[in-house]
Structure 1
């Protein structure tokens, strides 16, 4: 099952420093400038109403991580606003309701592969 598919349109100036801390923020195109500078802006192509299950795969370009927790309001925000905070901490529990936690990966390498046109997907396990 494909839960989500979107394409990166631009990457804000502050994304790299946030990613160094293991956090990636996505916002749909049209986000206000103060949010755009800390976010990866994207164009949604496909979004399921079904919340991704633990064990689903987040794929960003050639990199992938496993979903370990989904906050209580995270999927509503993704579906309605194209907004989500992805935390690469491998936590089994989302500390904030609007975040999705995934397994740890090399965030420096991830940043290097992200550019306009890169596909982000969440795929069923």
Structure 2
């Protein structure tokens, strides 16, 4: 068996480099999992009309927001989400959904349309 001895500085550099790499992977995984942007198809089942415009039904916005709001224990708060109306498929449209915590307190969840076409809507919510 061949034993290699590393100078103390090299060992320390390896440990620090390994820790930095793990922290970077942790951050990347959290960023990917904790996304708050969603693109949804505007089909006959998920769409309604609001003020004459195609809109994503409120239960679709609420369900997607609720599923993405608390994806990891260290990101977001576990809430039950409800939205007041459909989300109009017009870029720049905003509305506020409500998140109810298990203790009965509520939080406002702003929702904004980023892009919209005749067939898809891309929107995001704020944590």
User: Which structure: greater helix fraction?
Assistant: 2
Larger Rg: 2
| TM-score for the superposition, normalised by structure 1 | 0.30
| TM-score for the superposition, normalised by structure 2 | 0.30
